[in-house]
Amino acid sequence: MTVTAVFSRCTWPLLCAIALVAGASTTARAEAGRAAIDERIERLLSQMTVAEKIGQLAQVNADEGKISGKLRAAIKAGEVGSVLNAVDVATVNELQRLAVKESRLGIPLLMGRDVIHGFKTVLPIPLGQAAAWNPDLVQEGARMAALEAAASGVNWTFAPMIDVARDPRWGRIAESFGEDPYLASVLGVASIRGFQGDDLSRPGAIAACAKHFVGYGASEGGRDYGFVGIPDVELRNVHMPPFKAAVDAGVATFMAAFSDVNGVPASGNRFLMRTVLRDEWHFPGLVVSDWESIIDMTVHGFAASKKDAAFEALSAGIDMEMASTAYRDYLAKLLAEKRIDQDTLDTAVRNVLRVKFRLGLFERTVTDPSAYPAVASAANFALARRLTTQSLVLLQNRNEVLPLARASLRSLAVIGPMADDDYEQLGTWIFDGDPALSRTPLHAIREMAGPHVAVRHVRAMETTRTRTTAAFADAVAAASSADAAVLFLGEESILSGEAHSRANIDLPGNQMDLVRAVKSAGKPVIVVILAGRPLTIEPILAAADAVVYAWHPGVMAGPAIADILFGVESPSGKLPVTFPRMVGQVPIYYAHRNTGKPPIPSAFVHIDDIKVRTPQTGMKNKSQYLDAGYEPLYPFGYGLSYTRFAYSDIEVVPARARVGVPVTVRAVVKNVGKVEADEVAQLYVQDVVGSITRPVRELKGFQRVHLKPGESREVSFQLSADDLAFYGRDMQRATEPGAFHAWIGGSSTAELRADFELTAN
Ligand code: BGC
């Protein structure tokens, strides 16, 4: 921000002057800090042998967290820069001791771990966290996870995953913040801030890792590790923005995607890693490969040998090799043969050392767990409960069967394979989680319902994939004798996550039949779904009076779900990803292009109703599926509440402005129902005509507000030129003048609209 910009916004000139001086001195301090680090790096680098330099680029897996004789010797010889998957604090301290005390130059180790959604206190999977649309809580969650992990000596997490994920078949959608570049950017930055804090060198701050650069979420067919074919303009407008935001937020490290991106695997992709990441974005941090992704390039058919793979990766700018040893085995030869030069090697080493200096590892290598807050503490569980409660999305609530009225409730049937499974509620990537800490829905319901409610539990299916119906009769009997039935369905943790893609995303096994069977008991049926992805749940909607989507909610699944079922809290989660009606609609996302022949309701005839011998053009030629229409089951941003919200008075000020002058979009949101609740107000914008076609809508802002019945609040969003910029036909990022539509409302189908215009001058 320039001086004039600061003063022009200043109401209190003196305070602003002080702030400015303080700001200037903070910047000066940061610059001095950077210069001091650079000097230390150069000093160290000048003492290093080629072998020691190559050692810094090696990340070695600690098999089952143990220190093998081989690992011990390698660290002492200065051949290891980082260890991953050691989390026992005594082991970590010993590894660091070997590096610092027994290697020639005493360079400490980066200790990496996948701290993806909590450490001991397992939070909702990232897709669930995204459904809370609450960056503050995501940041607090990451901070909590960082502290828990740091107490074990971990100083680097491979998170956040900020791949834009538009395919629910892809198992790793669970680890994503969903389909939208803006939401993923905001939540990615929030996690980076949580992990890293303001100052990486403070105890409890750990280095974050923006992964997987880039396009991994667009794996062909939703099959993990699949080919990624994306035009550069889409890469830049859709998949790169969260990564650019991560760089701007000071993320310490990046991880390359496994993906073959447009024919060049990310681990050997100079355009991505050098042109974009370094030359354009000036990323000063460390880039790590993914697990063996360097040697995978021989399998991709991009490198003829591991040696060539090492050459391609280092030349592309991959600083550290995870798990495999192509760098260790071939970099010295490549250097001797002059295929790579000294400077390329030194730059990679500098990037590794810089993170170590920034983390303050040279000053503080021993971890003393007693210096950290307790892990899995009551405070951490309380945070997990808040985040989980806000992540639950109410999809359907016929006849307002929810919330359950505790006062009049006498009996409840709790049914299904996910009702009391302490492991499966945790989700994918829970290396350090402990199912014994989980509070299951069944337990929490029993506790919250109190002694006057008879709770009968029938598991009904051994797993979500069970095909027998033998226990259904018990479930129906339990439902018949209860005031209501709550079914806990979904998919086990192992059905999503890395390498766990699905081609059919229905509720597995006989779960759909179970819902129908329970419905035959004639009681209200409430379905709670625990899953790592959107599932195609349309077939159960007729039988389920209410549906709550809980994702994999983590340790506090039970209390959070009970809070919603009994109305202690009103649901406030909103979908971070579109729910398809059928898998054949995938990819389906709200920010799609209009096409030249967009669908209209009057032109849709369902396949069952098409008359025989309808002429070829008799159905008006619109972009739709004959069997699935053109709409999703639930749109992005959707989620019900126990109250209702009304939006009004939208305006854009100024409604006409020069490009570069910020405009403000505002509207009033009012709680017109009977209970107090949170609402996530969302702003969408359409750039009506562009040098390349623009999405029909794009999320540009959101705000979580809490409103009492009858209360209203103005929500207001400022849009700068940058917020409206995109890469156009000439591949330059710019804000193009012209007409814009803006909508504010409770989902991506919001109808309250105001228009504005940006002029060239
Ligand atoms: C995953 C990464 C992860 C790494 C280390 C890989 O298989 O793709 O996301 O960080 O393993 O566990």
Domains in the chain: boundaries: 1-46, 645-759
- What's residue 29's pLDDT? 80
Q: Could you tell me the two tokens for 437?
A: 């800490």
Mean pLDDT across the chain: 95
- What's residue 64's pLDDT? 75
CA distance 118 to 128: 13
Say if residues 297 and 313 touch (Cβ distance below 8 Å): yes
Question: Which one-letter DSSP state was computed for residue 242?
Answer: H
- What's residue 28's pLDDT? 82
Give the bridge partners for 264, in sequence order: 261
| CB crowding 499-527: b at 16 or more within 10 Å, else e | ebbbeebbbbbbbbbbbbbbbebebbbbb
Helix or strand holding residue 759 (H, E): strand 753-759
Ligand 1: which atom is nearest the Cα of residue 112? 5
Cβ neighbours of residue 510 closer than 8 Å, sequence gap 6 or more: 461, 466, 467, 468, 469, 472
pLDDT at 44 over 80: yes
Other beta carbons within 10 angstroms of residue 29's beta carbon come to: 10
What is the rounded average pLDDT of the residues 108-128?
A: 98
Q: Could you tell me the two tokens for 748?
A: 């991506």
Query: What is the torsional sign of CA 182, 183, 187, 192?
Result: negative
Question: Which one-letter DSSP state was computed for residue 228?
Answer: B
SS3 655: coil
Catalytic residue chosen out of the listed positions 163, 290, 319, 678? 290
- What is the Rg, in whole angstroms, of the alpha carbon atoms belonging to the chain? 27
CA distance 428 to 170: 13
Say if residues 89 and 83 touch (Cβ distance below 8 Å): no
Q: Considering only CA atoms, which residue is closest to atom 6 of ligand 1? A: 291
SS3 745: strand
| Confidence band, pLDDT 50/70/90 cuts, at residue 594 | very high
Give 639-707 as a DSSP string: -B-SS-EEEEEEEEESSEEETTS-EEEEEEEEE-SSS-EEEEEEEEEEE-S-SS---S-EEEEEEEEEE
pLDDT at 602 over 50: yes
| Confidence band, pLDDT 50/70/90 cuts, at residue 22 | low
Q: Considering only CA atoms, which residue is closest to atom 12 of ligand 1? A: 114
With CA atoms as reference, report the closest residue to 700 among 744, 649, 668, 652.
Answer: 744
30-39, 72-81, 735-744: which has the minimum mean pLDDT? 30-39
pLDDT digits (tens, 9 = 90+) for 232-268: 999 999 999 999 999 999 999 999 999 999 999 999 9
First-to-last alpha carbon distance for the chain, in angstroms, is 23
What is the rounded average pLDDT of the residues 43-50?
A: 98
Distances (CA, A) of 742 to 268, 666, 702, 756, 760: 41, 10, 13, 8, 19
What is the rounded average pLDDT of the residues 506-514?
A: 98
Q: How many angstroms is it from 728 CA to the middle of ligand 1?
A: 34
Say which residue the tokens 């081989």 belong to.
70
Q: Considering only CA atoms, which residue is closest to atom 10 of ligand 1? A: 158
CA distance 141 to 191: 8
pLDDT at 481 over 60: yes
Quick one: how far is CA 453 from the chain centroid? 38
| CB crowding 437-469: b at 16 or more within 10 Å, else e | bbbbbbbbbbebbeeebebbbbbbbebbebeee
Q: Considering only CA atoms, which residue is closest to atom 2 of ligand 1? A: 290
> At 705, phi and psi to the nearest 5?
-125, 150
pTM of the shown model: 0.96
| Confidence band, pLDDT 50/70/90 cuts, at residue 761 | confident
CA distance 628 to 467: 27
What is the rounded average pLDDT of the residues 71-92?
A: 97
Say if residues 740 and 728 touch (Cβ distance below 8 Å): no
- What's residue 66's pLDDT? 80
pLDDT digits (tens, 9 = 90+) for 88-113: 999 999 999 999 999 999 999 999 99
pLDDT at 13 over 60: no
Q: Which amino acid is at 630?
A: Y
Cβ neighbours of residue 51 closer than 8 Å, sequence gap 6 or more: 77, 78, 79, 332
CA distance 252 to 53: 20
Q: What percent of the chain has pLDDT over 70?
A: 97
Say if residues 242 and 182 touch (Cβ distance below 8 Å): no
Q: How many angstroms is it from 114 CA to the middle of ligand 1?
A: 7
pLDDT at 20 over 60: no
CA distance 700 to 181: 10
Q: How many angstroms is it from 328 CA to the middle of ligand 1?
A: 20
The best mutation among 290, 428, 429 to test binding of ligand 1, ranked by most ligand atoms within 8 Å of the C-beta, falls on 290
290 is catalytic: yes
Q: Considering only CA atoms, which residue is closest to atom 7 of ligand 1? A: 291
Q: Specify the CATH architecture of the domain 645-759.
A: Sandwich (2.60)
pLDDT at 1 over 70: no
Say which residue the tokens 């503080």 belong to.
364
> At 214, phi and psi to the nearest 5?
-150, 155
- What's residue 9's pLDDT? 36
Distances (CA, A) of 335 to 50, 290, 322, 327, 353: 9, 23, 20, 11, 20
Give the bridge partners for 682, in sequence order: 702, 745
Burial class (CB in 10 A: 0-12, 13-18, 19+), 157: buried
Quick one: how far is CA 368 from the chain centroid? 31
Say which residue the tokens 């390498």 belong to.
499
Q: How many angstroms is it from 292 CA to the middle of ligand 1?
A: 9
Q: How many angstroms is it from 636 CA to the middle of ligand 1?
A: 28
Treating both helix axes as pointing N-terminal to C-terminal, what angle do 557-565 and 441-449 enclose, rounded to 10 degrees?
A: 50
- What's residue 5's pLDDT? 33
Ligand 1: which atom is nearest the Cα of residue 161? 9
Cβ neighbours of residue 448 closer than 8 Å, sequence gap 6 or more: 406, 559, 562, 563, 566, 568
Helix or strand holding residue 14 (H, E): helix 13-47
Ligand 1: which atom is nearest the Cα of residue 175? 9
128-142, 612-626, 643-657: which has the minimum mean pLDDT? 612-626
Ligand 1: which atom is nearest the Cα of residue 159? 10
Other beta carbons within 10 angstroms of residue 198's beta carbon come to: 8
Ligand 1: which atom is nearest the Cα of residue 323? 5
The best mutation among 176, 291, 294, 296 to test binding of ligand 1, ranked by most ligand atoms within 8 Å of the C-beta, falls on 291
- What's residue 24's pLDDT? 63
With CA atoms as reference, report the closest residue to 315 among 210, 302, 280.
Answer: 302
Q: Considering only CA atoms, which residue is closest to atom 4 of ligand 1? A: 291
> At 187, phi and psi to the nearest 5?
-75, -30
As for ligand 1, residues whose beta carbon falls within 6 Å of it are 114, 158, 211, 290-291, 498
| Confidence band, pLDDT 50/70/90 cuts, at residue 23 | low
Question: Which one-letter DSSP state was computed for residue 108?
Answer: P
With CA atoms as reference, report the closest residue to 754 among 668, 665, 646, 682.
Answer: 665
- What's residue 296's pLDDT? 98
Cβ neighbours of residue 52 closer than 8 Å, sequence gap 6 or more: 78, 79, 104, 105
| Confidence band, pLDDT 50/70/90 cuts, at residue 21 | low
Q: How many angstroms is it from 351 CA to the middle of ligand 1?
A: 20
Cβ neighbours of residue 671 closer than 8 Å, sequence gap 6 or more: 643, 644, 645, 677, 679, 707, 708, 709, 710, 711, 712
CA distance 84 to 115: 11
CA distance 418 to 478: 17
SS3 416: coil
What is the rounded average pLDDT of the residues 15-35?
A: 66
What is the rounded average pLDDT of the residues 345-351?
A: 98
Say if residues 54 and 29 touch (Cβ distance below 8 Å): no
Q: Considering only CA atoms, which residue is closest to atom 11 of ligand 1? A: 291
Ligand 1: which atom is nearest the Cα of residue 85? 12
Q: How many angstroms is it from 280 CA to the middle of ligand 1?
A: 26
Say which residue the tokens 């806990």 belong to.
488
Q: Which amino acid is at 354?
A: R
SS3 395: strand
